[in-house]
Amino acid sequence: MAHTETRSGIQRLFNLPEDAEGLPLAAVEDRASRRLSEFSAFALQTLSEMGITIPPAVSFVSCPNCQLEINSQHPHAAEIQAWLNESLEAQERFKKVEVLYELIRASELAGQTIPPSVCFHVGLTSAGAIAYFETFVPRCS
């Protein structure tokens, strides 16, 4: 029963018909893009309310076994990190983006082992948000 309930939940989450045999990668990519845009809009609005502007760009990074951190030379980096540490909403929104991009990456690299030094990044730029994976040595290591 749990498998059926999980499948039904995934179908609703991605707006798939009940008889869908699988989850199309395009549906995950579309959801990831929308969540990235939502996180970007939320972060930019909050930073603006704090008097922080983009540019310069801000880069957020999430590594295994570490907290979400800023990886930028932004003049307000300490303030932005404090906001990240205190804002559960920011952390949750970021994680929603990360999980979807992890699904995409896992499908692209099926069968390959991803080293633990590969971290997920979201960059906020004046041209928009970007999401990518990169080898990174976090401060928590």
The tens digit of pLDDT for each residue in 97-130 reads 999 999 899 888 877 777 778 899 999 998 999 9
Q: Which of 16, 14, 12 shows the shortest CA–CA distance to 29?
A: 14
pTM: 0.80
Please give the pLDDT value at position 19: 56
The answer for residues whose C-beta is within 8 angstroms of residue 125's C-beta and 6 or more apart is: 54, 55, 57
The tens digit of pLDDT for each residue in 28-48 reads 899 999 999 999 999 999 999
Written as six digits, the tokens of 129 are: 């948000």
Examine the pLDDT at 4 and tell me if it is beyond 70: no
CA distance 77 to 47: 11
Written as six digits, the tokens of 28 are: 């995950």
